[in-house]
Amino acid sequence: MLQSISTSLVDQEVDPLRFPPLDYSKTPLLFIGYVIKNEFDYNALKCHENAIELGHLCGIDGRIEPIFLRGMSLKPSKVMEHIIKKVCKLHTIDTNKIFNKYIKILNSYNLTCNNSYGYLMDGLYPIDIVHLHQMEDNNNTYQEYVDKILIKDDIPWYFQPELKIFILTKSNTYISKNT
């Protein structure tokens, strides 16, 4: 049954204590899901029990900022394993060069982040959803992932969330602040 959620919740920050931190001993992680930006997103995007919630620490302008996610991890295809290994090496280069280097890595595998570029930050590396078929070997469709993650009956009719794909790694900022 569809529920009514106040759009005034868009102006309220999400409570970070609701999102367990990513286990950085298990990074990198190929992740598909939704970015939870505010209380509206938190209340509107109800997920199945198999979905995970996590807080991920990313580097933004020399600061560590949390990003909140709901979704699931993916078992990377062989090609994605190679890409992830290259992305993980980005933490060894200057932060100012990471983004251009990441775009070059994607281009070398005919991948893009043109539609998700706004999420690109130190430790959070988006891949456009059109490349979903290259992420895992099981060839699930976009709708199958939505069905695995979301309880669609609870989503307000006026809200159409879009799945995102991310490679989650430790950020240079996180590493430098913790050494």
Position 30 in a domain = yes
Position 86 in a domain = yes
Cα separation of 30 and 72, whole Å?
Answer: 9
Position 126 in a domain = yes
Residues in the chain, total: 179
Position 50 in a domain = yes
Supply the range of the domain harboring residue 21. Answer: 7-177
Task: Tell the residue number behind the tokens 């999420």, with chain if given.
Answer: 119
pLDDT tens digits, 102-142: 999 999 999 999 999 999 988 999 999 999 999 988 888 88
Position 132 in a domain = yes
Cα 155 from chain centre: 20
Looking at the structure of the chain, the number of domains it has is 1
Give the confidence band of 174 by pLDDT, cuts at 50, 70, 90.
low
Cα dihedral sign, 23-13-152-142: negative
pLDDT tens digits, 44-97: 888 888 889 999 998 887 788 899 999 999 999 999 999 999 999 887 777 678
CA distances to 17, 36, 133 from 76, in Å: 29, 23, 11
Q: What is the 8-class DSSP label of residue 57?
A: E
Position 121 in a domain = yes
Does residue 76 contact residue 84 with C-beta atoms inside 8 Å?
A: yes
pLDDT tens digits, 135-166: 988 888 888 998 888 887 766 666 678 899 99
The pLDDT of residue 1 is 39
Does residue 18 contact residue 42 with C-beta atoms inside 8 Å?
A: yes
Position 21 in a domain = yes
The pLDDT of residue 2 is 40
Task: Say whether pLDDT at 8 is over 80.
Answer: no
177 or 30, greater pLDDT: 30
Position 2 in a domain = no
